[in-house]
Structure 1
């Protein structure tokens, strides 16, 4: 019986950790949903490679997941989003999906300030998790993971 309780406890502890390590949404669906975002946003890497053409009204979203909020260079953010970043807000899939649903409400809750406002007026009532998963594919962690198997394969070929 003691082992059953130990196994159950280990499962209860492990499940949230596993859930956090996996994407909440569907990146392929998010790529399609991103069509709504292209009016204001683009995805272009530091070398200039364009993954999504788009507008310049909003910031470039390349590498946004894992980045402190309000810190993309060459973009003038609203004061409240900058304040949220300075208070420790770092974009992840969960908070990005929540932000996309209602940017102003998200900032008001995050900053505990009823007067906080977002410059982004668009609300994505559905599909925010998918867009966040899609944006996560352009994060440094995703790129490192994509490069890792190739490095492992090259090492395996050397040893054969």
Structure 2
């Protein structure tokens, strides 16, 4: 009986996480919207946007050999670290989340698309999607 109670408590805790688990295969399809500017996987290189391997736990504006907007580097300097939570917020409306970003993509509107693309990007990162401390982008100077 105690094991059952413990299982129910743990289930409730995990069910109450901030974001649902996404489908990485479906996220690969959503990523097609991003692929003209971003790359992932073996041999990925920066394009118009930075390559997105090892994105989780990365401080915003710090991918090697990519020229970021001042707004994005300032957001990183202010504590913005990419996690499931921060990616969900950013990918909903990038220009609202990091005012002054060069990213022209208007955002993803469907919650399932957000969950799925985060799950897909997670397959290219060894750090957990959760656990990177989210930052308050409003605290970072915007340019």
Name the SS for the 2:74 alignment partner. helix
Name the SS for the 1:73 alignment partner. coil
Distance 1:120 1:31, change over 3 A: same
Q: Measure, in 1, the Cα distance between the counterparts of 2:21 and 2:73.
A: 26
Unmatched runs of 5 consecutive residues or more in structure 1? 1-6, 108-115, 143-160
Unmatched runs of 5 consecutive residues or more in structure 2? 129-143
Q: Does 1:120 align with 2:103?
A: yes
**Cα offset for 1:98?**
1.6
**Cα offset for 1:129?**
2.0
**Cα offset for 1:135?**
0.5
Q: Measure, in 1, the Cα distance between the counterparts of 2:97 and 2:66.
A: 20
Q: Does 1:98 align with 2:89?
A: yes
TM-score for both structures, normalised by structure 2? 0.70
Q: Measure, in 1, the Cα distance between the counterparts of 2:45 and 2:60.
A: 20
> Contact 1:39–1:54 at 8 Å: present in 2 too?
no
Distance 1:136 1:91, change over 3 A: same
**Equivalent residue for 1:36?**
33
TM-score for both structures, normalised by structure 1? 0.63
Distance 1:55 1:75, change over 3 A: closer
CA RMSD in angstroms, aligned pairs only:
3.0
Q: Measure, in 2, the Cα distance between the counterparts of 1:65 and 1:17.
A: 20
Q: Measure, in 2, the Cα distance between the counterparts of 1:17 and 1:120.
A: 33
Q: Does 1:76 align with 2:67?
A: yes
For each residue in 1:73-103, what CA deviation from the matched residue of structure 2 results, as whole angstroms up to 9, or x when unmatched? 0111111111111111111112112211110
Please identify which structure carries the higher helix content: 1
Higher gyration radius (CA): 1
Q: Which runs of 4+ in 1 moved over 6 A?
A: none
Name the SS for the 2:127 alignment partner. helix
> Contact 2:30–2:116 at 8 Å: present in 1 too?
yes
